[in-house]
Amino acid sequence: MHILALAEQSNIMKRFLILLLLFLTVLSMCSTRQVAAQEKDERLLPILMYHSVLESKQGTYYISPQALEDDLSELKKRGYRSVTLHEVQCYLRGDGALPEKPVLITFDDGHYNNYYYAMEILKKQGFSAVLNVIGSFSEYSSTHEKDHPEYSHLTWDEIGILARSGVFEIGNHSYNMHAYKPRFGITRKKSESEEEYEKALREDTLRLEQTLLQKSSVRPISYAYPFGAYSKESERILRDLGYDTIFTCYEKVNRLIKGDSAKLSRLYRINRDGTLGTKEFMDLHDL
């Protein structure tokens, strides 16, 4: 009887140890999940999209130099810190870090007034920006009418100067597809085959890339869709060309998770409507 009792006690002890081991394993898994959740690195990133900076005009795509300065000052008051696109790229590829409240500034179309007015304001306020240029516009200003804030676009030489200023990074905004006709931006024409469309988009994108390299000594680090129009087809073609960072015009704040590089292909931007005051604009978009 004594031997049987000892055997029973041994079995009970074994069952107890097994249950204890299971309990500790589950506890460890839960703890690991909690730590992982706590360590998950996320940031909300508003990307503001500016166009023309002018004293003489006000509108959806125009903002005065004073309004631009007011915007940057207000962003700093609200706790935002300027980041470069390179920093955002590194973060989403799993490297580097971003401040708690990052903000990215972009300018579309490559207006000369971005150089004439915006650069000094950005410098003064400690901000950087991405400048998305249109090749055909810059070619015209380089060979015809240049250096007029009201209507000129940046010349190839000026783009190079801005790229080396430490203030601007350069993006591709198409060479000659920023137009409503014969297609809307880079979208496919109804009459085009898949092969014809891919050829047209590839040639246009590479034309600006190669021209920037030859005439400005700059390689664009991103692509901005003209008018924000895009498709799965265009995404694939641009990725094949090496553009993993693409700006849309979808007006929403970006939620970034460190290491989530797929997010780079659809970065949302909020257009800075010049008909609104600084605080009105920022409150409207919960900035």
Residues 6+ apart with CB under 8 A from 168: 119, 128, 129, 130, 131, 162
Q: Which superfamily does CATH assign the domain made up of 43-284 to?
A: Glycoside hydrolase/deacetylase (3.20.20.370)
Residue 38, pLDDT > 90, answer no
Separation of alpha carbons 131 and 204, rounded Å: 18
Amino acid (one-letter) located at 138: S
Indicate the pLDDT class of residue 8, thresholds 50, 70 and 90.
Answer: low
Residue 13, pLDDT > 70, answer no
Indicate the pLDDT class of residue 135, thresholds 50, 70 and 90.
Answer: very high
Separation of alpha carbons 223 and 146, rounded Å: 25
Indicate the pLDDT class of residue 30, thresholds 50, 70 and 90.
Answer: very low
Indicate the pLDDT class of residue 4, thresholds 50, 70 and 90.
Answer: very low
Structure tokens at 274: 């010049």
Place of tokens 């007029």: 148
So where are the chain's domains? 1-40, 43-284
> What is the pLDDT, as a whole number, of residue 58?
87
Residue 99, preceding peptide bond in cis (omega within 30° of 0) = no
Indicate the pLDDT class of residue 40, thresholds 50, 70 and 90.
Answer: confident
Residue 206, pLDDT > 60, answer yes
pLDDT digits (tens, 9 = 90+) for 41-89: 999 999 999 999 999 988 999 999 999 999 999 999 999 999 999 999 9
In terms of pLDDT, which residue wins out, 30 or 182?
A: 182
> What is the pLDDT, as a whole number, of residue 34?
39
Which of 128, 134, 116, 129 has its CA nearest to residue 53?
116
